[in-house]
A and B are shown apart, each in its own frame.
Chain A
Amino acid sequence: MKSRPRKQWLPAVMLSLLLPLAACGSDDSGTASDDSSAGGGDTGGSLTVLAAASLTDVFAQLATPFEEEHGADVSVSFGSSTDLAEQAVDGAPGDILATADETSMQIAEDASVTGDVETFATNVLTIVVPRGNPAGIESLDDLDGATWVRCADEVPCGKVALAVLEDNDITAEPASLEEDVRATLDKVISGEADAGLVYSTDAVAAGDDVEAIEIPGAEDELTSYYVTSLEQAENADLAADWVTWVTSEEGQKILADAGFGSP
Chain B
Amino acid sequence: MRARTTRDRLGRPPALLMVPAALATLLLLVPLVAMVAATNWQALPGHLTSQVALEALRLSLVTSTVAIVLCLLLGLPLAWLLARVDFRGRGALRALVTVPLVLPPVVAGVALRSAFGRTGVIGAPLLEWTGFAFPFTAYGVVLAHVFVSMPFVVIAIEGALRSADPRFDEAAATLGATRWTTFRRVTVPLALPGVIAGTVLGWARSLGEFGATITFNGNYPGRTQTMPTLIYVARQSDADAALSLSLVMLVVSIGVLVALRDHWLGTP
Contacts and interface: CB of A to CB of B under 8 A. Distances in A.
Contacts of B119: 190-192
Interface in B196-226: 214, 217-221, 224-225
Interface in A180-197: 183, 187, 190-192
Which of A86, A147, A176 gathers the greatest number of chain B CB atoms within 10 Å? A176
A21 B26 contact: yes
Contacts of A175: 135-136, 218, 220
Interface string A147-158: 101001111000
Contacts of A152: 219, 233, 236
Contacts of B135: 147, 175, 192
Nearest to B221: A177
Contact of B15 (A10, A18, A147, A192): A10
B19 A11 contact: yes
A152 B224 CA distance: 13
B258 to A, nearest CB: 23
Which of A154, A177, A192 gathers the greatest number of chain B CB atoms within 10 Å? A192
B23 A14 contact: yes
A21 B117 contact: no
Interface string A4-32: 00010011001101100110111010000
B38 interface: yes
Looking at chain B's contact residues, the main secondary structure is: helix
Interface string B112-146: 01000111000000000000010110000000000
Given A155-B236, A190-B117, A25 B214 contact: no
B265 interface: no
Contacts of B264: none
A192 B19 CA distance: 51
Interface stretch (B29-37, B62-70, B87-95): B29-37
Contacts of A190: 113, 117, 119
A224 interface: no
A177 B26 contact: no
B118 A191 contact: yes
A176 B219 contact: yes
A25 B117 contact: no
Nearest to B216: A192
Contacts of A22: 26, 30
B168 to A, nearest CB: 47
A24 B33 CA distance: 11
Q: Which 5 A-B residue pairs are closest in the complex by CB-CB distance?
A: A176-B218, A154-B237, A175-B136, A191-B119, A154-B236
Interface of A: 7, 10-11, 14-15, 17-18, 21-22, 24-26, 28, 80, 82-83, 86, 147, 149, 152-155, 174-179, 183, 187, 190-192
11 contacts: A11-B15, A14-B22, A22-B30, A24-B30, A25-B30, A26-B37, A80-B236, A152-B219, A176-B217, A177-B220, A191-B119
